[in-house]
Amino acid sequence: MTMRRYLWHGLLVIVVLLFVLEIVLFLPRVMQVWQPYDYWQYTQMGQAVRQGHNPLGAGRFYPLPTILWIFVPLSLLPEWFRVVWVIAPFGFILLLFRRQAIPLFAFVPLWFVVGDGMLDGWLLLPLAWLVQNRPVWAGLGAALVLFKPQLAILAVMYALGYWFATRDWKNLGVFALAMTIFYVPAFIINPNWIAQMLAVVPERAAQTTALLPTMTGSVWAWKELGAWGWLIVIVTLMMTLAWGWRAWHATKQRAAICQLFNLILNPILFGSNLVMALPTLRGPKPIVIVTGLSWLAFGLDKLIGNFGGGYALIPLAALYFLSRENVGQI
């Protein structure tokens, strides 16, 4: 075993021990005062469905299958389960990156996800299956990430087209079966749930417009800063197209490219949602640089005041690293 491996293993042991120590010392206090906002919203939506009420609203805009399969079970679990819910994403990152995962524990969007107990952290593994085009698992991953569709819709659309073009009936079949299982019960319970979602769109759109300067993965937040902000938008779009074109020819990781385009261009994403860029990273250099950029974006956010445009640097940098590759998966 090399000295470097000893060092990585030692750092991992220290991180785990500190994490356990923090749990032992602070968990009782945390359980008393900490109520993750998004997790609380999820349980409230689950309770509303159980009570026969409409769970949707401006801040509660999720497909009914997501509520049935995730939020209803969460509403039935004891309150202490929220600790398990927020710890799990760290385990997923360890599974994906092994010893290279340690720098990612400082990734700012990850801590946003943990702080609010967001669903995004639980979608890291399904997205990784999708971008790696794993037999069977990619089809399941495509169905699972649609529980929060705005996070990875372009990657799913590309994967479906790729599977049709290559006659990958295995992944297509798993995707179709999973979607049937997830969605048919929702229509049986409430055939009008899509209409109810559409009815909330105006309220949701008004909320989104009011929050636009704080939106993130989105390059469009910069335009709220005036003429020089528009210049940054134009330059970023040019870099996105140039590096995207180069990445398309340099690597077969094309679902990952589509995922990064989704994070850069989607105007309704927050900084926390940029955790969904992690499954596109490979190698220690991209991991360290993207983690550092997350702190640069956080500093810019605080300097300007509730501004999330800087987080567009994360998927942009990840796209650059993909453009430098010459091998890949999908």
Tell me the per-residue pLDDT of 32-77, one tens digit each, with 9 for 90 and over.
556 788 999 999 999 999 998 888 876 678 899 999 999 999 999 9
Tell me the per-residue pLDDT of 152-205, one tens digit each, with 9 for 90 and over.
999 999 999 999 999 999 999 999 999 999 999 999 998 988 888 888 777 766
Kindly report each contact of residues 23-30 with a partner whose C-beta sits within 8 Å and lies 24 or more positions away, as own/partner.
23/83, 27/83, 30/83
* C-beta separation of 269 from 217 below 8 A: yes
- At 51, which amino acid appears? Q
Is residue 27's pLDDT more than 80? no
* C-beta separation of 196 from 53 below 8 A: no
* C-beta separation of 177 from 170 below 8 A: no
Cα(82)–Cα(101) distance, integer angstroms: 23
pLDDT at 6: 66
Cα(23)–Cα(34) distance, integer angstroms: 13
Tell me the per-residue pLDDT of 179-192, one tens digit each, with 9 for 90 and over.
999 999 999 998 98
What's the 3-state SS for the chain? CCHHHHHHHHHHHHHHHHHHHHHHHHHHHHHHHCCCHHHHHHHHHHHHHHCCCCCCECCECCCHHHHHHHHHHHHHCCCCHHHHHHHHHHHHHHHHHHHHHHHHHHCHHHHHHHHHCCHHHHHHHHHHHHHHCCCCHHHHHHHHHCCCHHHCHHHHHHHHHHHHHCCCHHHHHHHHHHHHHHHHHHHHHCCCHHHHHHHHHHHHHHHHHHHHHHCCCCHHHHHHHCHHHHHHHHHHHHHHHHHHHHHHHHCCCHHHHHHHHHHHHCCCCCHHHHHHHHHHCCCHHHHHHHHHHHHHHHHHHHHHCCCCHHHHHHHHHHHHHHHCCCCCCC
218-224 mean pLDDT: 82
233-238 mean pLDDT: 93
- Say which residue the tokens 């445009």 belong to: 309
* C-beta separation of 89 from 110 below 8 A: yes
